[in-house]
Amino acid sequence: MRVRRLCCLMSAAVCLPVMGCSVTRPVPAAPDPLSLRNYLAEHPTANLRVTERSGRTYWVHAPEIRGDSLVGRRGYDVPVRPLSVGLADVVELRTGHFSAGRTAGAVGGVLAMAGVALLLVIDEAEPIY
């Protein structure tokens, strides 16, 4: 039981910083070909989170505008899994950004978990007389 609690704390301490340092924000461009093409020209490494009219949400990596469609890849897997969506079906576009506040919170959370883990280890240690 003690080892299991410690393992849970350690796995949470590893996952928290990975998830806590980023936030998605709306893309300032409207989902029309010209404004989105200009946005992608200014931000060539942007990955976009697309929300369709159906409510489906997914990430598009290496996005480009071709005609009236947004094309890219589903991930960085090999072989490449292409993805294409008509801009008329897009309701919202978001992109990931670094968040200093979330990073500070994640670091504080990890330090707090390390303190709790240390207290658990000290509490379970047998005294030496």
**pLDDT given for residue 128 in this prediction:** 72
**pLDDT given for residue 13 in this prediction:** 57
Segments of 48-120 assigned E as strands: 48-52, 57-66, 69-73, 82-86, 90-98
Query: What are the tens digits of pLDDT across the range 35-71?
Result: 888 888 998 888 899 999 999 999 999 999 998 899 9
**Coil vs helix vs strand at 47:** coil
Reported pTM: 0.62
Mean of all residue pLDDT scores within the chain: 79
**Which residue would you say has higher pLDDT here, 19 or 75?**
75
Return the amino acid letter for 102. Answer: R
For the cut 80, the answer to whether the pLDDT of residue 4 exceeds it is no
Q: Does domain 22-97 have CATH number 2.30.30?
A: yes
Q: Where are the domains of the chain?
A: 1-21+99-129, 22-97
**pLDDT given for residue 43 in this prediction:** 87
Query: What are the tens digits of pLDDT across the range 72-95?
Result: 998 777 888 899 999 989 998 988
**pLDDT given for residue 63 in this prediction:** 92
Token digits for 68?
Answer: 């009236």
